[in-house]
């Protein structure tokens, strides 16, 4: 046998102390996979867990490699739910609608639709997290077959148990492999959440510590109040803006995202109730509401929620000295305008004086420019026999300073426009 011929005798490749080298590699891999979790504020993770708790289908949108699958795997492990991953793009429509099985007497018993094995496992377990991955690469026929699964939780002849939650993931069409836009009926069945990376979370995670995903703690004493608040918010907005009840976007791309319909408004109502009962932050609530009905309608709903939390103008007029005005400028402006409107609706000397005292307090505790418009309107409501209150002196200087600042800004803008016009004329010669 030549010297360079490999030996055919069986042998074991071993590492130190006779340990097989593959076992050493496995031990190293186990150390690399070993990680822990820590409590950490993460708005997108909190929004995901809250939507899962509300039993609403969620669709995570993010670029490839951003960590969508890893987040779902971690979520399932933390919630102790068995994870079932189904790659939508590699399945046939019959894998979701069921395969026909011909029995002994189809004319009498019909032809049942047999469900796939993963659906049977979920039903047997009674609970779990169904992860529909690569949704944006599923062709239209598969998307149509998914409609009943996502909305009614039916796969063939089986109905998934209430303990099963559905989360999907998709890449934007520009970065998806042979991607398709989502059909409007399928898109309207999901809460759409953008999934991005936080470099600090990634760095700590690669170091072995990831944020902990936990279900929201719902306060039992706030449940009825949360439902009432959510219903008043959604119904109040739609009563004032009936055109928002159903608005199918014109563009194909926007139809594949969140848009308002009776179904998605119901999802928004549920999400507001859950967020209120959990005491979630505004960032979380904003992501959820906009993910249900779209950016425009969602922002209108958030503004309506802000107005619901504003103090009653009559309460402020009754005690202007002890008034607690909002810190945010837009909310403070809305409160002051509401107070002036209340005086206009019932003009009385005492109420007019109280409104001036409230405006003076607003100048002392916030930006004076917010008082200019309410003060001008309030001054126009004065009756001939009403004396000018002393509180006006406390805000006259601030109002005048704000007006002078506005005039200076206007003059600066006029000068900038004039210079740009002159430059354009010179360039055109």
Inside any domain, residue 31: no
- Residue 404 is predicted with a pLDDT of 46
CA atoms of 294 and 299, how far apart (whole Å): 8
List, for residues 54-85, the tens digit of each pLDDT value.
Answer: 999 999 998 888 888 888 888 888 888 999 99
- Residue 116 is predicted with a pLDDT of 86
Q: Where are the beta strands (DSSP E) in 171-240?
A: 191-194, 209-211
Give the number of other Cβ atoms within 10 Å of residue 182's Cβ.
27
Inside any domain, residue 413: yes
279 and 203, same domain (yes or no) = no
Domain boundary among 264, 288, 308: 308
Inside any domain, residue 190: yes
Inside any domain, residue 26: no
- Residue 285 is predicted with a pLDDT of 95
Residue 413, pLDDT above cutoff 60:
no
Q: Between the ranges 6-15, 19-28, 386-395, where is the mean pLDDT highest?
A: 19-28
Q: Which stretches of 79-221 are DSSP H helices? A: 94-97, 106-109, 117-125, 140-152, 184-187, 199-206
For residues 165-175, average pLDDT: 85
Residue 422: domain span: 313-427
317 and 420, same domain (yes or no) = yes
Task: Confirm if 373 and 403 have CB atoms less than 8 A apart.
Answer: no
Residues 6+ away with beta carbon under 8 Å from 357: 320, 321, 389, 391
CA atoms of 30 and 8, how far apart (whole Å): 32
CA atoms of 248 and 255, how far apart (whole Å): 7
Inside any domain, residue 25: no
Inside any domain, residue 11: no
Residue 246, pLDDT above cutoff 60:
yes
Give the number of other Cβ atoms within 10 Å of residue 203's Cβ.
10
- Residue 33 confidence class, pLDDT cut points 50, 70, 90: confident
366 and 404, same domain (yes or no) = yes
Tokens matching residue 238: 């739609």
Among 4-8, 156-160, 353-357, whose mean pLDDT is lowest?
Answer: 4-8
CATH classification at residue 60: 3.40.50.300
Among 345-359, 382-396, 412-426, whose mean pLDDT is lowest?
Answer: 412-426
- Give the SS3 label for residue 247: coil
- Residue 401 confidence class, pLDDT cut points 50, 70, 90: very low
List, for residues 151-166, the tens digit of each pLDDT value.
Answer: 889 988 889 999 999 9
Model-wide pTM > 0.85: no
Residue 261, pLDDT above cutoff 90:
yes
Computed over every residue of the chain, the mean pLDDT equals 83
Inside any domain, residue 17: no
278 and 416, same domain (yes or no) = no
Give the number of other Cβ atoms within 10 Å of residue 106's Cβ.
12
- Residue 240 is predicted with a pLDDT of 84
281 and 137, same domain (yes or no) = no
80 and 204, same domain (yes or no) = yes
303 and 263, same domain (yes or no) = yes
Residue 176, pLDDT above cutoff 70:
no
Task: Spell out the long-range contacts of 111-119 with Cβ–Cβ below 8 A and sequence spacing 24 or more.
Answer: 112/156, 112/157, 113/156, 113/157, 114/156, 114/157, 115/155, 115/156, 115/157, 115/158, 116/155, 116/156, 118/84, 118/86, 119/155, 119/156, 119/158, 119/160
CA atoms of 289 and 291, how far apart (whole Å): 5
What is the b/e burial string over 49-74, where b = at least 16 CB atoms within 10 angstroms of the residue's CB?
A: bbbbbbebbbbbbbeeebbbbebbeb
List, for residues 369-380, the tens digit of each pLDDT value.
Answer: 788 888 888 888
- Residue 429 confidence class, pLDDT cut points 50, 70, 90: low
236 and 268, same domain (yes or no) = yes
Task: Confirm if 354 and 322 have CB atoms less than 8 A apart.
Answer: no
Total number of domains in the chain:
3
Q: At what angle do helices 349-365 and 372-379 cross, to 10 degrees?
A: 160
For residues 266-273, average pLDDT: 97
List, for residues 187-205, the tens digit of each pLDDT value.
Answer: 999 999 999 888 888 888 8
282 and 300, same domain (yes or no) = yes
- Residue 108 is predicted with a pLDDT of 63
Looking at the chain, the number of H-run helices and the number of E-run strands are: 19, 11
- Residue 296 confidence class, pLDDT cut points 50, 70, 90: very high
292 and 251, same domain (yes or no) = yes
Domain boundary among 211, 234, 251: 211
CA atoms of 373 and 377, how far apart (whole Å): 6
Inside any domain, residue 76: yes
CA atoms of 174 and 69, how far apart (whole Å): 19
- Residue 243 is predicted with a pLDDT of 92
198 and 298, same domain (yes or no) = no
Domain boundary among 264, 286, 308: 308
CA atoms of 119 and 127, how far apart (whole Å): 11
List, for residues 213-232, the tens digit of each pLDDT value.
Answer: 788 899 999 999 999 999 99
Phi then psi for residue 397, to 5 deg, are -65, -40
287 and 319, same domain (yes or no) = no
């Amino acid at each position: 046998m030549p010297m360079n011929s490999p030996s055919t005798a069986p042998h074991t490749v071993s590492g130190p102390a006779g340990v097989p080298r593959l076992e050493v590699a496995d031990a190293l891999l186990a150390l690399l996979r070993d990680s822990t979790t820590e409590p950490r504020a993460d708005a997108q993770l909190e929004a995901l867990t809250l939507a899962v708790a509300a039993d609403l289908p969620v669709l995570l949108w993010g670029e490839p490699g951003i960590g969508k699958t890893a987040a779902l795997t971690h979520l399932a492990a933390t919630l102790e739910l068995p994870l079932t991953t189904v790659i939508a793009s590699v399945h046939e429509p019959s894998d979701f609608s069921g395969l026909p099985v011909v029995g002994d007497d189809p004319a009498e018993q019909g032809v049942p639709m047999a469900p796939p094995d993963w659906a049977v496992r979920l039903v047997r377990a009674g609970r779990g997290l169904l992860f529909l991955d690569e949704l944006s690469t599923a062709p239209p026929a598969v998307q149509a077959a998914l409609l009943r699964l996502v909305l009614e939780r039916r796969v063939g002849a089986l109905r998934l148990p209430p303990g099963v939650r559905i989360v999907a993931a998709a890449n934007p069409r520009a970065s998806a492999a042979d991607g398709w836009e989502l059909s409007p009926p399928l898109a309207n069945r999901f809460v759409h959440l953008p999934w991005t990376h936080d470099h600090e979370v990634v760095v700590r995670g690669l170091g072995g510590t990831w944020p902990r995903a936990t279900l929201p703690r719902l306060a039992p004493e706030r449940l009825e109040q949360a439902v009432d608040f959510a219903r008043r918010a959604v119904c109040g907005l739609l009563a004032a803006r009936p055109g928002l009840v159903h608005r199918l976007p014109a563009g194909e791309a926007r139809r594949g995202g969140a848009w308002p319909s009776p179904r998605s408004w119901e999802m928004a109502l549920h999400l507001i109730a859950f967020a209120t009962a959990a005491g979630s932050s505004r960032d979380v609530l904003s992501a959820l509401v906009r993910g249900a009905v779209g950016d425009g309608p969602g922002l209108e709903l958030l503004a309506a929620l802000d107005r619901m939390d504003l103090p009653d103008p009559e309460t402020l007029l009754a005690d202007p000295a002890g008034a607690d005005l909002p810190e945010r400028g837009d909310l403070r402006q809305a409160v002051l305008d509401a107070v002036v409107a209340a005086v206009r609706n019932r003009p009385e000397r005492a109420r007019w004086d109280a409104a001036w005292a409230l405006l003076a307090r607003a100048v002392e505790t916030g930006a004076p420019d917010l008082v200019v418009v309410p003060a001008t309107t309030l001054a126009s409501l004065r009756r001939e026999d009403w004396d000018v209150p002393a509180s006006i002196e406390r805000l006259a200087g601030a109002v005048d300073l704000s007006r002078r600042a506005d005039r200076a800004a206007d003059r600066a803008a006029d000068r900038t426009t004039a210079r740009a016009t002159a430059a354009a004329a010179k360039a055109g010669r």
